[in-house]
Amino acid sequence: MKKLLGILVLGLLLCGNVNAAEPITFSNIKSRIKDIPEVAWNNTQNLLNSNRAKSSSLVDLEIHVGPKTKLYFKDNEKAFKDGIALWANVKKPRKYLALFYSIKDKSWALSKYNDKNLINAPCWKNKCTGANSSLMDYPDNDLGVGVFGIYGKDRSDPYRKGAIQIHEYTHAVQAAQWMPMATPTGLHQRFSPCWLTEGQAHFAGLSASSSSFNKYKIIRKKQIKGHPVKEFRKFTPETILDYLNNDYAEQCIRNPRYKLGYTLGLLTVEALSAIGGTESTMKLYEIAATDKKLFLLTPDKQFNKVFTDVYGISWDEAKPILAEVVTLTRKK
């Protein structure tokens, strides 16, 4: 009897291992909720490891720190190089200029890159604590510029120590898919729903900067529970589906619900990365940038077409599945 039980237990364990090794798909993802974060994180780490050797000279990286600014994180170069490695297989900026400055060095930052709107972006109420990044339209449209506010009270936030650098670099790569067309950033923003713009950058930053799955779980949990939106407090499949239905690019940038990209967008991209790999969400941009007839369609039909090309299922079909998945993964 004991021998029989042992055989049964071993059989169940083996079955479990086989199931865990099966790819996550849209058909089985709702039964694999607990596996999604680790599969997605592993996909990022595997991509990083395979790309590191060939990525060292792909982008001309320049990092400048304001003369009165005291950094609380010293590995900025490594973080950016991880971002460059992550997106080594797609179009990318020819050069990436990263400026780190406190409020005392705003004038210095402006001397390094003369764009007041960009330099002011991470600063408010007499402090610089945010970050911003894009592909600049002038003088060349292949220059990525990232601005990073430095504020002493942020030093205890792990997100500031690797993840934010990769996040912002990812925004430049998103727009780079439209190179060499004029105004690549504008074309990117015209196409991309905000859940994808911020969700992809956030997932890239968190998963690539976390050297272990445990570290990823910790920083992921903090980010998912952060970024509250007063107008959105009920997280159900119905409310999340409504969010995904109405998060079109040109409508969402100045919408109070924009911050949901850092939470619901993060979880949506995590699920898509578990299904199709980390590069799959960037493939959405690649196809959008090369399909010359795409902008003849309405925004919803644009995204439906591109999504189907990448994932083999339409966005209309995928949305209710992802809304349920995001609801469940947010609770874990």
pLDDT value of residue 138: 64
The burial of 114, by beta-carbon neighbours within 10 Å (0-12 exposed, 13-18 middle, 19 or more buried), is given as exposed
Lowest mean pLDDT among 253-262, 271-280, 310-319: 253-262
pLDDT value of residue 20: 53
Q: How confident is the model at residue 191 (pLDDT cuts 50, 70, 90)?
A: confident
Lowest mean pLDDT among 8-22, 235-249, 266-280: 8-22
Q: How confident is the model at residue 4 (pLDDT cuts 50, 70, 90)?
A: very low
CA atoms within 13 A on the CB side of 93: 32
- Compute the average pLDDT of residues 20-30: 91
Distance CA 306, CA 327 (A): 24
* Dihedral pair phi/psi, residue 65, rounded to 5°: -120, 135
- Indicate the helix (H) or strand (E) that contains 128: strand 127-128
Name the DSSP class of 23. P
Per-residue pLDDT tens over the stretch 228-263 = 888 898 999 999 999 999 877 666 667 888 999 999
pLDDT value of residue 185: 80
- Compute the average pLDDT of residues 40-63: 92
Strand-pair partners of 198: none
Taking the mean position of all CA atoms in its chain, how far away is CA 221? 15
Is the pLDDT reported for residue 219 higher than 90? yes
pLDDT value of residue 296: 84
Q: How confident is the model at residue 217 (pLDDT cuts 50, 70, 90)?
A: very high
Which one is predicted more confidently, 18 or 59?
59
Lowest mean pLDDT among 14-28, 209-223, 265-279, 295-309: 14-28
Per-residue pLDDT tens over the stretch 60-94 = 999 999 999 999 999 999 999 999 999 999 999 99
pLDDT value of residue 139: 62
Tokens representing 269 are 């991209």
pLDDT value of residue 32: 97
pLDDT value of residue 21: 75
Distance CA 79, CA 101 (A): 17
Is the pLDDT reported for residue 313 higher than 90? yes
Is the pLDDT reported for residue 282 higher than 60? yes
Distance CA 49, CA 254 (A): 37
pLDDT value of residue 16: 40
Which one is predicted more confidently, 161 or 189?
161
Distance CA 81, CA 140 (A): 22
Q: Taking all residues of the chain, what is their mean pLDDT, rounded to a whole number?
A: 90
Prediction pTM value = 0.91
Handedness of CA 211, 217, 221, 224 (dihedral sign): positive
pLDDT value of residue 249: 67
- Of all residues in the chain, the percent with pLDDT exceeding 70 is 91
Sheet holding 131-136, edge to edge: 60-65, 95-101, 143-149, 131-136
Asked, as a colleague might, if the bond just before 320 is cis with ω within 30 of 0, I would say: no
